[in-house]
Amino acid sequence: MGLKFSQPPSSPFKAPGFLSSFRRASSRQPSFNPPLQSLHPSIFSTLRRPPAVKPGDFIPLFSDCVSAASSRTQEYLGFQDPEDKFHPSPETLTQVPSAPRTFQKHVSLNMADAFSCTAMTPEQRVLLGADWVWALLEKPTKTPKVQIAVQVLHLPRRKEAEPTEAPSSDSRSESVQMARLEGGHRSVQERLVDFCSSVGKDCYALFLFFGRKNDRENVYGVLSNNFEAAVGKCSKIDRTLIENFFKGSRYLHTCSFIVIVLIKCLKKSFTGDVMNNASAFNVK
């Protein structure tokens, strides 16, 4: 797309082939068209644009970000380890979606707006419940117009989406423990919802499920700026509640739904909740 992306000073992904070496022989191209979409040609298909990016045209770019991240993650999760010796840490897995260059922090784009993807520190992951935060920035001020705080809920070994490194005496794990104390009795899902609602309606919580049982290669997600509304209906926002959004296909959207939300938010007509119900989507 003729965009320039700055290289991070250091990254676990810098090593050539870090991800590609895990790629399956039949590696798929990043696909943004779930089966639903191929059955019903929809407005989502219009979001796939030719590579030329017009100034201000962030939609294809954002689509590509989502698509690249999910396909990378899918490759990663679909990797078959013949000797079962490969045990990525939860931290590594949460870094995967921010690996593509398209995601690098504060990418400067040839357009009025810019995206950023900020990976949270281990302490922030506990305090705020977010693994990373996408933002669409206003150019002169660099303040976020819309944010999506993402929590990854796939990791079989990861309870409550909190870092589960073995306790050690270093200050990092100590501070992570302190952060847990700060969080009190709230579930990590509640922390994300609380964080987003403290910021405002332009901050969306996105729960992403990678590698669900019996369906390891798909990515599911639930996105809303109004999860707190669920509190009235059930006592607690937790993983079970979030997973319940997947029951019933009427909430199933394509991943492009995020893009639709962004468009809505950017339009001046945006006046509060885009969704009264959370929306689930599935990337195949």
Partner 1 sequence: MAATQDMKGKGEGGDQNFDYMFKLLIIGNSSVGKTSFLFRYADDAFTSAFVSTVGIDFKVKTVYKNDKRIKLQIWDTAGQERYRTITTAYYRGAMGFILMYDITNEESFGAVQDWSTQIKTYSWDNAQVVLAGNKCDMDEERVVSVDSGRLLAEQLGFEFFETSAKDNINVKQTFERLVDLICDKMSESLDADPAVTTGAPTAKLTDSAPPLQQPGCNC
Residue ranges binding partner 1 (CB under 8 A):
9, 105-106, 116, 118, 120-121, 123-124, 127-128, 130, 133, 142-144, 149, 169, 171, 173-175, 177-181, 195, 198-200, 203
Which C-beta is closer to partner 1: that of 21 or that of 143? 143
| Shortest distance, position 193 Cβ to partner 1, whole Å | 13
Which C-beta is closer to partner 1: that of 133 or that of 230? 133
Which C-beta is closer to partner 1: that of 106 or that of 216? 106
| Shortest distance, position 105 Cβ to partner 1, whole Å | 5
Q: What is the DSSP string of the chain?
A: -----PPPSS-TT-STTTTGGG--TTPPPP----HHHHHS--GGGGG---S---TT--HHHHHHHHHHHHHHHHHHHH---TTS-----HHHHHHGGG-SGGG-TT---SSSEEEEEEEPPHHHHHHH--SEEEEEEETTT--EEEEEEEEE---TT-GGGS--PPP-SSHHHHHHHHHHHHHTT--HHHHHHHHHHHH-TTEEEEEEEEEETTEEEEEEEEEES-GGGHHHHSS---HHHHHHTTSSGGGEE-TTHHHHHHHHHHSTT--S-S-SS-EEEEE-
| Shortest distance, position 188 Cβ to partner 1, whole Å | 14
| Shortest distance, position 12 Cβ to partner 1, whole Å | 17
Which C-beta is closer to partner 1: that of 77 or that of 205? 205
Which C-beta is closer to partner 1: that of 175 or that of 244? 175
| Shortest distance, position 180 Cβ to partner 1, whole Å | 7
| Shortest distance, position 120 Cβ to partner 1, whole Å | 7
Which C-beta is closer to partner 1: that of 89 or that of 175? 175
